[in-house]
Amino acid sequence: MPAPGKNPHTRGFALVAVLVIIMLLSMVVLSLMFRLKAESTASSAGAGAEQAWAAAMSGIREALRVAKESKPGALDWQDAPSTFRDRFVLDDGADRWYFTVYSAAGPDSLQEIRYGLADEAGKLNLNTATETNLVRLPRMTVSLAQTLLDFLDADDTPRAEGAEQEYYDTLPNPYTIRKGPLATLDELLLVRGFTPALLDGEDANRNFILDGNENDSDQSFPPDNSDGKLDLGLRPYLTVAAADLNEDKDGLPRTDLNDPDDPLPKLDLPEALVKYIEVARTNKIEIAEPSDLLEAKTKVKDASGREVEMQSGVGKAELPLVLDRFTTTTDELLVGLINVNTAPAPVLATVPGIDEALAESIVSARRGLSAEKRQTTAWLFTEDVVSAEVFKQLAPYLTARSRQFSFHVVGYGLPSGRFRVFEVIIDTVRGHSEISYLRELTRLGLPFRLEAAMEGKGG
């Protein structure tokens, strides 16, 4: 029997109310705990991402340093594992952070990647290329070449197999075409006929490595053909960034052979060469290219009016000096020259006068050359790769120097495995190194296993 003055229903309601309050308080506590945990996790993930970013930036700084300090003819930046592979940056107490700088190894290498930089001058510059250059590339058709040139040129008249603005206006989502130089290679995907598969081959995740997952994320890429070799598409052969400076190996402006007011350099020039240049200037005989001085002859009239033959005196011994010190243009930048020391055979074969056989001969002959010989393109002649006549045909399209470099860099922490990946182009053409292109590729995944990097790293 209930106690006097106590309603059993009232007591029941009070008990329920207490239980509800306890439940609500518990939910609030759990909510606060979850929020604190989420904020802690987000903060930790964000800090890890920033640390990975900082480690990658350390790799870029190291690449800038190496590029700036590179000497004429040196290729030590191409593959330097001690400089670019698994370089320790810092230990933050939770992770040890590293960077690795890497590039595609090249078609003649047994490795998939190398730990170094790629030379942009070893590629065909799309902003200066002609149809003749383009159609010599693997997979490049006349239609693709003409469509690209229409995309770049200023006029509105389509080539026979090309396409101007009128075509792009008919697309479901029309857009204005470039009508000028490309800023990045990825703009090629705006050009009719250029697909991700054409540009990047089987390498959908852009890591240069045959890992069995190349095309899982993008059905616009062809499946791996299981030949044990990763097809990198056209990208390794193309650039929009290559330009050389019109200066000698000491960083001084070259002497214009055709300008009588431009004094000859204060060097021990061969007497025959000095006389030849002076006579050419006096008689307004224009020299088209410095390479034209190789074994050159000309007929002039002497003081008595007799016609005499003069020789330049430039042979194998003199050619490197001539190519380094002289020019025939006032242009400060020489855009689109191909580096004979670094270009793969398919790129060399785009040069007028170089067929596939000669391209392979050049690649073979340059192996083992000293840095001194690589300072100019003269070695093509001095090493008997080509004749004087052929050399003079090729020289206007070639350089022996690297001014712009591309690479990928990954910054990562161990043991957490956090990472960030970037694609980078750096430029040294202005006398200092600077970043001219930076794109994050982290979303494409880890470029290679970090477990291998953990060996010997204490992680």
As a whole number of angstroms, the distance between CA 63 and CA 302 comes to 57
Q: Do 376 and 319 belong together in one domain?
A: no
In a domain, residue 221? The reply is: no
Domain boundary among 297, 330, 363: 330
pLDDT 10s digits, 150-189: 999 999 999 999 999 999 999 999 999 999 999 999 999 9
Q: Do 356 and 308 belong together in one domain?
A: no
Find the range with the poorest average confidence among 4-18, 147-161, 279-293, 310-324. 4-18
Q: Do 362 and 428 belong together in one domain?
A: yes
pLDDT 10s digits, 326-366: 999 999 999 999 999 999 999 999 999 999 999 999 999 99
In a domain, residue 160? The reply is: no
In a domain, residue 185? The reply is: no
Contacts (Cβ under 8 Å, ≥6 apart) of 174: 168
Domain boundary among 330, 351, 386: 330
Number of domains in the chain: 2
Token representation of residue 458: 């204490």
Going by pLDDT thresholds of 50, 70 and 90, the confidence category of residue 208 is confident
Residue-range definition of the domain harbouring residue 56:
38-127+338-459
Q: Do 359 and 444 belong together in one domain?
A: yes
Domain boundary among 308, 330, 352: 330
Which residues face 414 on adjacent strands? 96
Output the pTM of the full model: 0.85
- What does the pLDDT read at residue 212? 52
Token representation of residue 114: 């190398």
Token representation of residue 397: 């399209």
Q: Do 349 and 458 belong together in one domain?
A: yes
In a domain, residue 20? The reply is: no
Secondary structure (3-state) at 114: strand
Other CB atoms within 10 Å distance of the CB of residue 212: 9
pLDDT of residue 7 exceeding 60, the answer is no
Q: Do 449 and 346 belong together in one domain?
A: yes
Q: Do 326 and 342 belong together in one domain?
A: no
Q: Do 285 and 379 belong together in one domain?
A: no
